[in-house]
Amino acid sequence: MREPFPRISRQQFFFIFAIANICLTPFGFPTLLYKELEQHAWISPLAAYVLTIWNLLVAISLARQFPDQNIVEWSRQILGKWIGGLFSICVIVILYFWGVSMIWAFMLLIMFTQLAHTPIYFTSLLLIGGVVYLLMQGLEGFARFAELVFLFLIAGFIAINAVQFTNADFNRLLPVGGFPLDNLIKPDVIASLFVFRGIFIVYFLFKYLNDKKRLLPLSIYSLSIAFVEILLATVLPIAIYGAQAASKFIYPYQESLSSVSIEWLPFEKLTFLTPMLWQIVIVYVLGSSLFCATEGLSSLFNIKNKKRLLIIIGVVTWLIVMYQVSYMQLSQMIMVWSIAGLLIFTLIPTLLWAGLSIRRLLKS
Amino acid sequence: MNIGEMGKIRNIWVDEMKGESFVSFFNKKNKKNNQNKANKSDSNANPVKPTIDLSEQTEKLPRSYEERLQLIEELIQTDDLKGIKLEEQGISCYFLTTIIDLKRFNDEIAPRLQEWVDFPEKWHILFPQAVLRDTTADTVTDLLEGHIVMNHRGLHGQAVTLSMLSIKSRAVEKPDNEKMILGPKESFTEDLETNIGLTRRWLKDPNMVFHYFQVGERSKTRVAVGFIRDITNPDWVHEIETNLKKINIDRIIGHKDVMDLIIGKTNTPFPLYELTELPARIVFDLSEGRIAILVDGSPFSAILPCPLLSMYIGSEYVMQGGIIPLFVRSIRVVAAFLALYAPAFYVALVSINSSIIPVETGVVLAADQLGIPYPTVIEALLLFIILDIFIEASTYVPGAIGPAMNIVGSLIIGQAASQAHLVSHVIIIVSAITAVGTYVTLYQLSMPIRIWKYPLIIAAAVLGLYGIIGCTVILIAHLCGLKSLGVPYLSPFAPLRWKDLLNGAIWDKDRSESKKRLSMFKAQDKVRQEGDPDA
Amino acid sequence: MSTLKCQLKPAAVICVVMMFCLMLTGCWDIQEIKDQSFIIGVGVDKVGDEIEVSLLEVLTSASPLGEEEKTVSGFANTRVISTKGPTMNYCIEVLRSEMNKRVNASKIRFVVFSEELLKAGIIEHMDYLLRHYEIDKVTYVIATRPSAKELLTKEKGTLFPFLNVEKYSPLLHTIKLWELIPQLYTIQEGAVLPLIRMDKDRIKIIGASLLQLDKQQFVVDKDKVRWINILHEKNIRRMRIMFKDKLAFEIRKVRFKLHVEQGKVVVKLKMNGWIIQSKIPNTLQKSKQLEGQLSEFMNNEIEEVLNESKNQGVDLLSIGEKFRQKEWDTSDWDNKLKELNFEVESEIKILSGFGKSE
């Protein structure tokens, strides 16, 4: 029997979207900002949030014009075969590198917190293998997974954030004014505008939605969950340690969590919870990233057997991840990638959208 | 159809295969072979075909009395076939001694035979329940189903058959597997009619229908598909019935064969159909829009579709209110989680993630582990394999020895092993928790839990909590990919249906408030009670 | 295609099996709990130019689960091992190889610095502790006299329970690592460590050691620690204030407010509580008058502590941080701090005579 065309519900889209946007951002991301912006670091997620809402607006209205196509298909239709193909490849590479870089970041975290000596090819094999297996259950299976685990994740996020409030002193965020304007245009800060990169999966998921009505408000609610989490991850370490001390940590959010001990639990450390949470989050992220890469490549090169393509992509990812990056290299890579991502996903779609709107106006 | 068309069909079929699940992806080769075989068999001959195929015996019975007798004796060469031939009067009776009531034969038939000799046409007065058969197939089928086949020289090309079936069947007894504390105490037997009758007692709805099917070329097993016509989704009934009709197999024993053939190929330890031995349970499920499949000779009924959570609705639903069942259900879920995760978590804590244990516990655990000659993972694997052996022993060893085995296993060996410092004390506690947790869940579900425990232990031993989560992701992915009759296995959690969860799937709030049926079973008649459900 | 798959399948199986075999020989993170040493305390002393690191190890007994008698705390069976060396890392490396076990740093409950070392500065030794993932940020940091090694040797499992119920010890100013971290890096926040010592088998509180950055500036006597505790709202449950040997007042609740102005800091305290001992006849009738006297007494005492710490260069109330929050100039904070005027306004309310009405 031919499998029916997969369909995901709005609710499932909401869940995937929220978690994919949270991503692993709460980890490495704030440290860079503390160095440049000190206690003003919260401005960066806020700016990213505003920019992302604009991006969403553009993305959804573009996707609506081609409801049965993904970005690879319609971009070639608008931009022509070669330019469109080039643009598609950029899109696919950026979304694919999203997954790869996040595994690298996650592997560094896991090495730091739990498994210092276990060979990385094994730890990553379990993760990538699990995600590839999950995607093989089809998009609907992936969506169901996202739905099932979402509540657990939200409970986990509430738990790890709520406890930190006991130690937090939000006066440390003062003064509000007096931005270091010079630092706002540093590459690190500009790159941080790309933190909500999860929204771009809408370009690939849109055609599978069974109900495409009122998608923008839904996405914005979903994005707001991610925004709140990332804002807390930025603000809480400052509130607990102060911007100066917080900038001395590699994983400030993890360290601020470790300032809390729950004495009545058999496990006095809550810090063990977070790698587990991120491990599930990265399943969402990697799942979305590999899904987009598979969808993109299969429509670009007209490959029918998506499952085989998925396995090949999974193996390639595994081989890439085996290369051990250092924290500094990774930060550099993420910065360059973020700026490229801003270019590809903010500038070009906006231009396309404007172009299409003008063309429609002229026609009418 | 020429060869070119055949090739096209093959190609389409191969394309279809590409869209199938992971499991079938790796087994494509096998399937292809099967398909090839099937293609061949279509062109040659039916592979499942007895040498005496009754469906081919369509010709009329021979007119000659002697030929008729000869035919029966030729077709059925078993030693329990008995023929009483009254040569002078020209009357004969054939029957299988093992399945008829001989006493009734002596009382009801034997005395009337003399009368029949002279008036062959009066058979319907002498034997009011008898029927007249004129084909070989019908006659022999009747004989095999416990009829007495009577021939008369005066009836040309015809035989009179009369049902005297008497197979010793069990009485309706108390359920063995599903204990009901405050509920009805009768369970199914091996007899299909009895089982349907027991179900009818609970539901006098004219819309509750049972469709009979005969499955198995040799076994001729009767299978009944039961559903409530105006509730159940007709597509599902259609799917099950077409699948049943497609079955071409030599024999069926119990539910496993039928259900495997209906559901198709799956590689999962999780049960995709629910078995119950309680008639009340079936009525409960039928009224939700599910479908019951009963098989003659099996004292169970299978229920489809079967999401995971529905198996947690145990017998406690007869208890008072909504809170007690909710509590009992939660306990069962927790027990299942403990049985699955307690060993893995212990191994992870002791061998890799020891940094999260408080020092007091750590000291106790370390002291407990001292002197044990092998790593924790080996200790755990050894103990859990032994535990599974004991579970099997206590389940399948006959009579009173079973429970004794358990005592030997748990008390004596556990105690001795820990005293000899071969296993630690704590792991015995963990294994006890696991064993108890395994049994609190439904029996069908305890099996996958017992199996999945091992990958989790190994993952925990190698990668700690990271491994446990990684393995859990694979487990959940597996469950998310499963479907039972198109219903996702994890519904109503995924896809999330709040109304179902609060309306009986996990919390049966209140009878007076639950006015709608569970939406995950796609019932046609959505309302369970009078009144506006949304008011 | 199918033949290719046919060949690939065993190949995949062989690959997996080979990988697992490789794995069995590879490095793992399996750390059996019985092969670990549980370190619950770390002591650092200054010996000449070098430091001496002492580790307090809990010994695991071979017979578990209550077959051997145990003390209430559970860590009676401990030993201290120590060695001298130039850095923390060097010493711990040496100790680890002596123990021939994995040092499980996650169980560390307190870090003890000797007063001598505190005077010299602890930041370079703290670095090791701050980097280490396993070390909890809820670890207690303690100062001791004369040496950390002595404290750890004599404590016999009593120190952690003593610290852990800190809320009942008004004279003890406990501090955890996470609270200390920001204070170590800035002079705009002063740090306070509890200063304790072992007298035979009893723990004695000497007072509190006040730090600017990572260096001890001076020591506050234990009777005055209560004022610091009130200012930091720490361990004030059932804290008692003795007024000229005549009256003892037990605090039920304190409300603390800080008004920071340029050059002037006003501390406002509101508290209520009970009289629990009194030599003054008809105490309750005179409560209005007594409340006034008590407030005045407290104002003086707290101002004294604040002024002393100010003169020693310790920003006890983290006024510098408040200045930063208000975007005021904090450069040359050392001198600015000395120019600050502290004023304490406390308001005391006597609720009752604690069961005696006179």
DSSP string, B79-107: TTEEEEEETTTTEEEEEETTTB-HHHIII
Distance from CA of A22 to the nearest CA of B (A): 19
Instruction: Assess contact for A161 and A22: CB atoms under 8 A.
Output: no
For B85-138, write each residue's pLDDT tens digit: 888 888 888 988 888 888 888 888 888 888 888 888 888 888 888 888 888 888
Nearest-Cα residue of chain C relative to residue B368 = C64
Instruction: Assess contact for B285 and B202: CB atoms under 8 A.
Output: no
pLDDT band of residue B1 (cuts 50, 70, 90) is: very low
Question: Residue C146: its pLDDT value, please?
Answer: 86
Contacts of C176 in chain A (CB under 8 A): 259
Facing residue for C138 by CB, picked from A175, A178, A259 = A259
Cα–Cα distance, C19 to C3 (Å, whole number): 25
* Neighbors of chain B with 3 or more C-beta pairs under 8 Å: A, C
Task: Calculate the alpha carbon distances from C291 to B74, C243, C272, C274, C346 in Å.
Answer: 120, 11, 10, 11, 10
B89 interfacial to chain C (CB closer than 8 Å)? no
Contacts of B425 in chain C (CB under 8 A): 64-65
Residue type for B166, please? Answer: S
pLDDT band of residue B14 (cuts 50, 70, 90) is: very low
Continuous segment of H or E residues that includes residue C204: strand C202-212
CB contact under 8 A, C138 and A260: yes
CB contact under 8 A, C34 and B360: no
Question: Residue B50: its pLDDT value, please?
Answer: 67
For B24-53, write each residue's pLDDT tens digit: 444 444 444 444 444 444 444 455 566 676
Question: Residue C6: its pLDDT value, please?
Answer: 55
Residue A240 structure tokens: 């607990």
Question: Residue B32: its pLDDT value, please?
Answer: 45
CA B453-B454-B457 angle, 5° bins: 90
Give the β-pairing of C50-58 and C140-144.
unpaired
Terminal Cα-to-Cα distance of chain B (whole angstroms)? 60
Burial C244-271, CB ≥16 within 10 A → b, else e: eeebbbbbeebeeeeebeeeebebebeb
Instruction: Assess contact for B524 and B233: CB atoms under 8 A.
Output: yes
Distance from CA of A254 to the nearest CA of B (A): 15
Tell me the three state secondary structure of residue C13: helix
Cα–Cα distance, B208 to B228 (Å, whole number): 4
- Three-class DSSP labels, B15-72: HHHHCCCHHHHHCHHHHHHHHHHHHHHHHCCCCCCCCCCHHHCCCECCCCHHHHHHHH
Strand partners, C212: C215
DSSP state of C187: T
Instruction: Assess contact for C15 and C41: CB atoms under 8 A.
Output: no
Residue A131 structure tokens: 């995600």
Residue pLDDT tens, chain C, 358 long: 445 555 567 777 777 776 666 666 556 778 888 888 888 899 999 988 899 999 998 887 654 444 444 444 456 678 899 999 999 889 988 998 888 888 888 888 899 999 999 998 888 888 888 888 888 888 899 999 888 998 988 888 788 888 887 777 888 888 988 889 888 888 888 889 999 988 888 888 999 999 888 888 889 888 888 889 888 888 887 888 888 788 888 888 888 888 888 888 899 999 888 888 888 887 778 888 888 888 999 899 899 999 988 888 888 888 888 888 888 888 888 888 888 888 899 898 888 877 777 6
DSSP state of C235: S
Question: Residue A268: its pLDDT value, please?
Answer: 64
B110 interfacial to chain C (CB closer than 8 Å)? no
Question: Residue C14: its pLDDT value, please?
Answer: 77
Strand partners, C272: C253, C349
B31 interfacial to chain C (CB closer than 8 Å)? no
Facing residue for A175 by CB, picked from C133, C136, C327 = C327
C256 interfacial to chain A (CB closer than 8 Å)? no
Question: Residue B518: its pLDDT value, please?
Answer: 84
Cα–Cα distance, C334 to C339 (Å, whole number): 9
CB contact under 8 A, B354 and C34: no
For C65-95, write each residue's pLDDT tens digit: 444 444 444 566 788 999 999 998 899 889 9
Residues 6+ apart with CB under 8 A from A359: none
* A-B contacts at Cβ under 8 angstroms: 118
Continuous segment of H or E residues that includes residue C113: strand C110-114
C326 interfacial to chain A (CB closer than 8 Å)? yes
* Most A CBs within 10 Å, among B9, B22, B497, to test the A interface: B22
Question: Residue A288: its pLDDT value, please?
Answer: 94
CB contact under 8 A, A148 and B476: yes
Burial A46-62, CB ≥16 within 10 A → b, else e: ebbbebbbebbebbbeb
Task: Calculate the alpha carbon distances from B361 to A138, A267, B418, C135, C214 in Å.
Answer: 44, 10, 19, 18, 34
B459 interfacial to chain C (CB closer than 8 Å)? no
Which residues of A lie inside 8 Å of B (Cβ-Cβ)? 1-3, 9, 11-12, 110, 114-115, 118, 122-123, 126-127, 129-131, 133-134, 136-138, 140-145, 147-149, 266-269, 272, 275-276, 279-280, 283, 304-307
CB contact under 8 A, C33 and B352: no
pLDDT band of residue B531 (cuts 50, 70, 90) is: low
With a threshold of 0.90, tell me whether the complex ipTM lies above it: yes
C-alpha closest to that of B469 among A281, C106, A21, A23? A281
Distance from CA of B412 to the nearest CA of C (A): 19
Contacts of C6 in chain B (CB under 8 A): 29
Facing residue for B370 by CB, picked from C28, C62, C134 = C62
Instruction: Assess contact for B223 and B215: CB atoms under 8 A.
Output: yes
Give the β-pairing of B291-295 and C215-221.
unpaired
Nearest-Cα residue of chain C relative to residue A261 = C138
Cα–Cα distance, B224 to B293 (Å, whole number): 6
Determine phi and psi for B18, rounding to 5 degrees. -65, -25
Residues 6+ apart with CB under 8 A from A363: none
Contacts of B426 in chain A (CB under 8 A): none
B23 interfacial to chain C (CB closer than 8 Å)? no
CB contact under 8 A, B367 and C63: yes
C291 interfacial to chain A (CB closer than 8 Å)? no
Contacts of A117 in chain C (CB under 8 A): 27-29
Continuous segment of H or E residues that includes residue C206: strand C202-212
C-alpha closest to that of A311 among A297, A294, A295? A294
Contacts of C2 in chain B (CB under 8 A): 28-29, 32
pLDDT exceeds cutoff 80 at B79: yes
Cα–Cα distance, A307 to A19 (Å, whole number): 24
Classify the phi-psi angles of A57: left when phi > 0, otherwise alpha if psi is within -120 to 50, otherwise beta: alpha
* Neighbors of chain C with 3 or more C-beta pairs under 8 Å: A, B
pLDDT band of residue B16 (cuts 50, 70, 90) is: very low
B29 interfacial to chain C (CB closer than 8 Å)? yes
CA B203-B209-B211 angle, 5° bins: 140
B369 interfacial to chain C (CB closer than 8 Å)? yes
Cα–Cα distance, A248 to C151 (Å, whole number): 31
Question: For residue C86, how many C-alpha atoms fall within 13 Å in the half-sphere facing its CB?
Answer: 0
For B283-313, write each residue's pLDDT tens digit: 888 988 999 999 998 999 999 888 888 887 7
CB contact under 8 A, A134 and B355: no
CB contact under 8 A, C321 and A242: yes
C133 interfacial to chain A (CB closer than 8 Å)? yes
Question: Residue A144: its pLDDT value, please?
Answer: 92
Cα–Cα distance, B92 to B149 (Å, whole number): 8
| Cα dihedral across residues A87, A88, A89, A91: positive or negative | positive
CB contact under 8 A, C107 and B375: no
Instruction: Assess contact for A209 and A67: CB atoms under 8 A.
Output: no
Contacts of A138 in chain B (CB under 8 A): 21, 481
Continuous segment of H or E residues that includes residue B112: helix B110-118
CB contact under 8 A, B425 and C65: yes
Owner of token pair 């410092």: B421
* A-C contacts at Cβ under 8 angstroms: 65
Cα–Cα distance, A99 to A111 (Å, whole number): 18
Residues 6+ apart with CB under 8 A from C24: none
Flag residues of chain A having pLDDT under 50.
1-2
Distance from CA of A27 to the nearest CA of B (A): 17
